[in-house]
Structure 1
């Protein structure tokens, strides 16, 4: 007799190769659109709960600043920006803290754009970017003072392997600092799992986990001083603003078809998923967590 396992939404579907192909295709095609729609920092913004009217750009910079503080990034640290996107965090780490930053991503177009942005910001001598799988790097043991992961952990199909690799390449006493999409908990109903699966497909990510699962994984792997924080309430306005940006574009058929011709038919599905992400936050399915941990010295 066969048994059917209930889908919890907390595992990768398909092969790692297929996921990596989807990630490369997604970001290589959409790197300019992301920047056009979301600005320099293509990640969530952070708002004070009693000051919700800060601009999106200010809030996005604030997310990086808050994560720097939360992680206790030291001045002049050697940092791996794991899943570096178009380099905005790397630029801030180099400019604000004098860090030397090496960024890695699966997207050739992100490497190109990050290199351009770092040069324009005057930190090209303290930053470098290349294509590399963050779960299987070629760095020697004990290389970095900090591994910084801004909204890239959700892309990793094997979270344990990713955290283990980061532990390996950190110096003793080095710190892992992560901001990532998380799920509310591990008891989602089928409709909630279906919503997550739709978002995974359209945003080319693997899967999310509850924040406490990351703390447990870090402890099991041998990290010390593990700390977590849920920033959901501080970042949820990101998707209301994003939906407001996308709505008028979707009402303009000529714009949509121009994108389809330039980017392919998947762009229509991607734009339609922006309000679905807002729905995931509104329905308390998606959360946003940060965590930090230290490699014992």
Structure 2
């Protein structure tokens, strides 16, 4: 297991060990799957509001973000795609419907696999979308399997970002593309109050840690990915948390409903509901940013097996 140097800036390192993180992720998403869908809809990620354009609505903005990533990565029709950290499969289904992609979608949550499999069948793409429980840092796929690895708001969950990127490179075909959208830290110089805010978000959202966007560019180079492009979409996505706060307010104001949720799902419901205004605060204070990046496995790169990488 990779170790993290003690010189890592506070707030930008894992706050729990890997087994504890996996346990927290499974419990979080298995236990709160219905609440996520009730509040967020099928796309459990940020929306994208283009500057100067009319507000299309929250769900349309979530679809827009996925479409912007498709365009950024220039995903070809019929591509074999790994959706690493797939939620309930909304992005995988969209890729299958719009681009006729064959998508292997993986998550640590058995409930997300169950629900996503149902949704893929309902959407008529069950033959092209397969959901499985699997660790994205150490998958079971053969070397050089995929044309595209897609990671939409899952990289922040990864305990070791470099190991995750190395695994993405391994399962990509030479010339294959990686596309990532992830929560990012503003920079490496965080004040103690900002670190405390991030740690509360890590706990409540079952997140490992976040890094500055420029650090991902460095990590891609370290694992041998090339053609790296980065973009900061903070301005386009930040309205997500203004709208989400408005959605959560009526729930919080109804104690009987909250207690019903607690009895059914446990005390993590409190943390989940309280975490929404924390994310808005993190954006408002400039602590949290939203970064996207793409990278390519070199076309002449020899496929390295996991044994070679060990």
Q: What is the TM-score when the length of structure 2 is the normalising length?
A: 0.93
Match of 1:124 in 2: 126
Match of 1:169 in 2: 171
Cα distance in 1 for partners of 2:127, 2:275 equals 38
1:14 counterpart (13, 16, 20): 16
Match of 2:34 in 1: 32
TM-fit CA distance, 1:5: 6.4
TM-fit CA distance, 1:14: 1.9
1:6-85 superposed matches below 5 A: 8-51=10-53, 53-85=55-87
Match of 1:279 in 2: 281
1:1-297 superposed matches below 5 A: 8-51=10-53, 53-297=55-299
TM-fit CA distance, 1:51: 2.4
Cα distance in 1 for partners of 2:135, 2:52 equals 40
- State the Cα deviation string for residues 91-127 of structure 1 (Å, max 9, x = none): 0100000100000000000000110111111111101
Local SS of the residue matching 2:211: coil
Residue pair 2:87, 2:107 contacting (<8 A) in 1 also: yes
Q: How many residue pairs are counted as aligned between the two chains?
A: 294
Cα distance in 1 for partners of 2:196, 2:30 equals 27
Local SS of the residue matching 1:41: coil
Local SS of the residue matching 1:148: strand
Cα distance in 2 for partners of 1:15, 1:207 equals 12
Local SS of the residue matching 1:206: coil
Residue pair 1:79, 1:145 contacting (<8 A) in 2 also: yes
Stretches of structure 1 that go unaligned for 5 or more consecutive residues are none
Cα distance in 2 for partners of 1:174, 1:130 equals 22
Evaluate the alpha carbon distance shift between residue 187 and residue 284 of structure 1 in structure 2; reply closer, same or farther with a 3 A threshold: same
Local SS of the residue matching 2:148: strand
TM-fit CA distance, 1:149: 0.3
Residue pair 2:9, 2:189 contacting (<8 A) in 1 also: no
Cα distance in 1 for partners of 2:126, 2:170 equals 27
Local SS of the residue matching 2:13: coil
- State the Cα deviation string for residues 257-279 of structure 1 (Å, max 9, x = none): 00000110111121011011000
TM-fit CA distance, 1:52: 5.1
Cα distance in 1 for partners of 2:247, 2:137 equals 34
Cα distance in 1 for partners of 2:145, 2:123 equals 26
| Runs of 4 or more consecutive aligned structure 1 residues displaced over 4 Å after TM superposition | 4-7
Evaluate the alpha carbon distance shift between residue 221 and residue 7 of structure 1 in structure 2; reply closer, same or farther with a 3 A threshold: closer
Residue pair 2:146, 2:172 contacting (<8 A) in 1 also: yes
Cα distance in 2 for partners of 1:202, 1:187 equals 23
Cα distance in 1 for partners of 2:85, 2:106 equals 5
TM-fit CA distance, 1:53: 2.1
Local SS of the residue matching 2:62: helix
- State the Cα deviation string for residues 248-297 of structure 1 (Å, max 9, x = none): 11011001000000110111121011011000000000000100000001
Q: What is the TM-score when the length of structure 1 is the normalising length?
A: 0.97
